[in-house]
Chains A and B, each alone.
Chain A
Amino acid sequence: MSKPTPVTADSTVVRIEHLNKWYGDYHALKDISLTVSAGERIVVCGPSGSGKSTLIRCINQLEKHQRGTIEVLGETLDDNIKRLERIRRSVGMCFQHFNLFPHLTVLENCTLPQTANLHAPQAEAIERALTLLDKVQMRDHANKYPGQLSGGQQQRIAIARALCMRPRVMLFDEPTSALDPEMIAEVLEVMVDLAQEGMTMICVTHEMGFAKKVADRVVFMDGGEVIEHAPPARFFQFPESSRTRRFLDQILDHGVSA
């Protein structure tokens, strides 16, 4: 099960081509194409309902798309559930609401996926879990239950849990949106560290500071379309579309000028 997923020669990790998705009659994603290479950090932003979460949830097929192709680590996503499970083990994901397993301790949250899905020996799984919990500064809380911890702490554990699977790419779905303001920094810090270590990352976030600091490219979506797609320097200083400008005005001012 844990055999390495084949890597394509051009080191493309995710290749999305002409992706379309509908919820009933509602066209949620309109003909989206995006390629992410190993080591790249992509920030996806846009107003709510723009389809940005749907887009990254298609990458590990938490949402099914109807048209277009998604290729992850050289394998095309289709109805083959076994292959999908294998791909998912190489694609880490962090959710807005952390989604830790409340009936397991912090440590068990990190070891169970390894032992159950990677067939890692228990001792090895514990060692890796503790190393990664240390990295997110949560090792001291290893034997607590998620319910005993703050949102920021839970999100850091969720990142460690995802990293335990040795993912080739990390997806972040608004990881700081459900956090109290004083906890956002601690989570972003972990994410910046991760980016600087060379992890391939696709982040849906409104944290423009994070985008400026680590992103290689920023993707701006609105109404299910990619409106703008540029390196952060150009994206923030010379946005091409008026919709981008309006969004940036709103989000950077936090509505103070309005």
Chain B
Amino acid sequence: MKELDVMEIEAAVAELCLPTNCVLNEDIRKALKQAKASEESAQGLEVLDSLLKNAEIAAEQSIPICQDTGMAVLFVEIGQDLHIVGGSLTEALNAGIRQGYTKGYLRKSVVADPFLRVNTGDNTPAVIHYDMVPGDKLKLTLAPKGFGSENMGALKMLKPADGVEGVLDFVVATVDKAGANPCPPVIVGVGIGGTMEKAALLAKKALLREVGSGHPEQFYAELEHKLLQRINNLGIGPQGYGGRTTALAVHIEVFPTHIAGLPVAVNLNCHAARHRTIVLEGKEALG
């Protein structure tokens, strides 16, 4: 059995924080450039150009794309044959965030209690999602989430009879209502099925998919396309100034659900759409 020390995990998380916040992913850069071709509004084009220029400055100078460096969300896939040693995994992940956000001069945006609202001072705790998977590796995805877009998400427990149209209408209405607030152009994550919390998690995970990659199943790929078209017909445009580009992509994730339900969740992301993944391998344990 392979072993992985929590110290190594902490260091890896700490190292992820700065590049995740300062370097715009290539798929988004490509999507912004593509959007320029179809954008008709002069103000919209100006915004798309500014976001590309912003990405250049952020990467060159190692300063965050956006000042809201988010609440740290971590997706952790643990190979079931891997043994984690040296302490608590959750504590190590939070220690990595603490170190990365402090040493990286990233903004500390977390309050310890939703009502008392005292800043924890180090951007912990992170929101951590664990998954057990086959194998002996540890896969970590850091996806810091800004709240300009997070605040605009929504969830609804639809009736099965509401069907495809009910789901599409709810997704479009959510983006419509969000308007300029989530800093369009946005990425729209849609989770359909499961239970209430499963739908929300699917919507969040949908934001991790590469922009421009359609759903592997044709039925859902077509729904994504249809939704993107309807959303871009809203006219909200870059930053809400009016234009063709309200969303860069719509990603749907689905899961089996109950005979009586049709849960749907929408998680919006701004163009920064930060996420970065690393895979850690353990060392052979000494017999």
Is B truly associated with A?
Answer: no
